[in-house]
Amino acid sequence: MSHLLSRGEAVTRLLALVASLLLACMIVRAADVARAVGDDESRRVTVRSAPLRIVSLAPGATEMLFVAGAGSQLIATVEYSDQPVAARQVPRIGDAAGVDIERLVSLRPDVVVVWPGGGNPAQIQKLEQLGIPLYRQQLNRLADMPGSLRRLGALAGTDAAADKAAHEVEARLEQLRQRYAGGSSPTVLLQLWNRPVYTAGGPQLMTDQLQLCGARNVFADIQQLSAVVSPEAVITRNPDIIIALAPPGEGAAWLAEWKRFGSLKAIRHGLIAFEDQGFSRLGPSAIDATELLCQRIAAVSRGSY
């Protein structure tokens, strides 16, 4: 009977079917093969294939992930993660100082993006002990941002979007350098708090942001990210400009406290209240804020302080 398969043909077809099923299984398994990516501290992080379930424990990291094209993979973040607007819809599990560890674990993240320079060290260590893959995202200079975006793209499998964003950042930074780098190079006190007076040290990203504006941090020799300085130390260094990086509505009051020190050069024309909170965020919105500050510094410099 011609419509019936011979035993040999049946075996051949069965073997072909088994082979195709095995191939399909291999493809499915290959899709979940672990891979290693490098983070901003050159540590190798092992994750499965993208897309991932990502938790971000810093507002800057959240913004960077969105810009790198990985916003849809974020399942949780922390308070003040408000850039871009879409980030405001991501569930919160705490803030940069501390998160709900039990809730984080219950979300079954594939990777947690942490901020070594400002996160909670004890909680970062706890997550590491729990065996959750940690990706450390850290910027020390604005020039680090394009590379950091590309690495996040490699993590999330969004390389094309991340590379496009990185090129845009590079172009913006170059424009700012060309516009402001040749300025009069005034010395600046960056005031981060008023009582006591906190300032930014040399390793702080803000020092690099000042340099992009053609200015110099008068306390750049301090090797901590931030430090308390006395009014006497400020008077001794006598900065050309004092910038109050204050919470909204408080900058004018901070600056008023310096007016009792009449010998300061900055008192004449060099007092700037700058309350754009994006300046301290470690993401691309910091470039927008930096450009605004560059404009303010340039305007003050034209008045010879």
Please indicate, yes or no, whether residues 143 and 187 belong to a single structural domain of this protein.
Answer: no
Phi, psi of 111, deg, nearest 5: -160, 145
Predicted local confidence at residue 184, as pLDDT: 81
Domain boundary (170, 192, 221) is at 170
Domain boundary (170, 203, 227) is at 170
Q: Is residue 26 part of a domain?
A: no
Report d(CA 210, CA 280) in Å as an integer: 12
Please indicate, yes or no, whether residues 44 and 151 belong to a single structural domain of this protein.
Answer: yes
Token pair recorded at residue 55: 């938790």
Q: Is residue 16 part of a domain?
A: no
Q: Is residue 69 part of a domain?
A: yes
Please indicate, yes or no, whether residues 163 and 39 belong to a single structural domain of this protein.
Answer: yes
Which residue, chain included where needed, has tokens 């007092």? 271
Report d(CA 254, CA 234) in Å as an integer: 14
| The overall pTM is greater than 0.85 | no
**H helices present in the chain, as ranges:** 7-31, 59-67, 101-106, 121-129, 145-156, 159-180, 205-212, 231-237, 251-256, 266-269, 285-302
Q: Is residue 20 part of a domain?
A: no
Predicted local confidence at residue 302, as pLDDT: 75
Please indicate, yes or no, whether residues 97 and 160 belong to a single structural domain of this protein.
Answer: yes
Predicted local confidence at residue 118, as pLDDT: 80
Q: Using CA atoms of 236, 237, 240, 242 in order, give the dihedral in degrees to the nearest 10.
A: -90
Q: Is residue 17 part of a domain?
A: no
Token pair recorded at residue 250: 């408080």
Number of folded domains in the chain? 2
Predicted local confidence at residue 27, as pLDDT: 45
Count Cα neighbours of 123 within 13 Å in the Cβ-side half-sphere: 21
Angle between helix axes 159-180 and 205-212 (nearest 10 degrees) is 60
- Tally Cβ neighbours within 10 Å of residue 106: 10
Q: Which of 304, 303, 254 is CA-nearest to residue 274?
A: 254
Please indicate, yes or no, whether residues 188 and 152 belong to a single structural domain of this protein.
Answer: no
Domain boundary (120, 138, 170) is at 170
- Tally Cβ neighbours within 10 Å of residue 264: 21
Q: Is residue 12 part of a domain?
A: no
Predicted local confidence at residue 110, as pLDDT: 98
Phi, psi of 238, deg, nearest 5: 45, 65
Q: Which CATH number characterizes residue 263's domain?
A: 3.40.50.1980
Q: Which amino acid is at 272?
A: I
Report d(CA 198, CA 246) in Å as an integer: 11
Q: Is residue 11 part of a domain?
A: no
Q: Using CA atoms of 99, 103, 104, 105 in order, give the dihedral in degrees to the nearest 10.
A: 130
Please indicate, yes or no, whether residues 259 and 213 belong to a single structural domain of this protein.
Answer: yes
Please indicate, yes or no, whether residues 219 and 129 belong to a single structural domain of this protein.
Answer: no
Phi, psi of 168, deg, nearest 5: -65, -40
Residue numbers of the domain that contains 63 = 35-170
The answer to whether residues 36 and 46 touch, using CB atoms and an 8 Å cutoff, is yes
Please indicate, yes or no, whether residues 195 and 296 belong to a single structural domain of this protein.
Answer: yes
What's the burial of 275, exposed, middle or buried (CB within 10 Å: 0-12/13-18/19+)?
A: middle
- Bridge partners, 36 (sequence order): 46
Please indicate, yes or no, whether residues 128 and 187 belong to a single structural domain of this protein.
Answer: no
Averaged pLDDT, groups of 10, the chain, 305 residues long = 54 50 43 84 96 96 98 97 95 92 96 90 93 95 96 98 98 95 89 96 94 96 95 97 96 96 93 92 91 94 66
Please indicate, yes or no, whether residues 94 and 159 belong to a single structural domain of this protein.
Answer: yes
Q: Is residue 47 part of a domain?
A: yes
